[in-house]
Amino acid sequence: MIVGTKFQGDSTRIAKIQHEAYGEALRIIIDFATNKHRKAEQVVDVRTELSDLRDELDSFDHRTLQWLHDCMAAAFRMEYCLNADFLIYKIPDPHIPEETVALWLEFLRKELEKVFAEYWQLPRLILTAALYPNPDKKGMAAEDEIYELTQFLYPEMEMNHTEGEKGTVNLYQSKTIGCDCIKPEQSQTNSQFDHELLLDGMTLAGAYFESGVHDFGDYAAAMINDLGTDIKPYLLSFWEGIRAWEDFDTQEMTSVENSKRMYEKLLLEHEHGLSTQMVANIRKERQNYEREEVMHNQSLHKEILETWRQDSPQMTARLKKQNLLDDLAFVVQERMWQAMDEYQAIGMPRSDAKEQAYKDHLMLEPEKLSY
């Protein structure tokens, strides 16, 4: 930590006290990043090189995280020095150093929770900067991103990062930098998607859920807006991973069936179409309906196909390529009749139930064409 003034009225006395707790504060930052990264990793069931390095971490060059630490430390001093109602109760100033350290570390934990919830990529950036130190280009790029983020988060703080403090922090020899590392089980994936972006996606999905986004459509739209269309094939696995996570109250989440239906529609807008497994599931679903000898409406079947051809040509082309066009038209109609019965069973008038079931299942809205 560099002791200096960051704003008018800053206290070097408090900064020196924070300097003595520098190691413990870094441990908290690393622990927060590790816990977020590991939680996302366990849900997605992906393990990367960064995961292995993370679990073997026993020391790192503290300067990789100094910018972030020093800005958060200055933010604490600004609250401490300028806000008489800091942390809800009035501060008797001066505290003894131990009390000031306790207040600072309590502030740091709350600040990390707030920042991590908004900037879902930060846990990975922190670990990358610590685990791939200069001159590794991967770590340097992560440091640059952290630096830009701190400038955005704390514009009133002057950045004075220098080479003034040398050496590494040892996580095991220092009592205050102890790291309780338990390695999760090794797992592998055949996905060709960027593993670290996959973990970012799971972290962001969890952040959206914890912020109150419990509708699959809202969640998917937000995720695609943040991460791009390449995240589409992974949205349902993230979502159902959250549902299975015991720490979350998932009662208000979109149901499993409705989430799956909305996910299928999203995938049909993706350039690769439905996954092989989903293609097999749809074909099996049609076979099940036929074994039950359902009274399939052939006129409506033709209407669905014609509407798709006219209004959703890209989706239609993908379904034809996967030899699934007729099967899916069959399946969505049967799902629609089932949904209509369910709506009526809960008291919805027949005309309203039919209209809602059409809207939910037949995918008749014109697609947005991309050129």
Q: Name which of 32-36, 64-68, 118-122, 318-322 the model is least confident about.
A: 118-122
Q: Which residue has the tokens 């300097």?
A: 19
pTM value is: 0.48
Residue 131, Cβ density class (10 Å: 0-12 exposed, 13-18 middle, ≥19 buried): buried
Tens-digit pLDDT profile for residues 209-224? 887 888 888 888 888 8
Residue 44: pLDDT over 50: yes
Cβ pair 21, 175 in contact under 8 A: no
3-state secondary structure of 159: coil
Q: Which amino acid is at 252?
A: E
Residue 347: pLDDT over 70: yes
Mean pLDDT for the stretch of residues 332-340: 89
Residue 192: pLDDT over 60: no
C-alpha R_g of the chain: 26
Tens-digit pLDDT profile for residues 261-294? 888 877 777 666 777 767 888 888 888 888 777 7
Q: Name which of 12-16, 21-25, 356-360 the model is least confident about.
A: 12-16
Mean pLDDT for the stretch of residues 196-221: 80
Residue 238: pLDDT over 50: yes
Mean pLDDT across the chain: 76
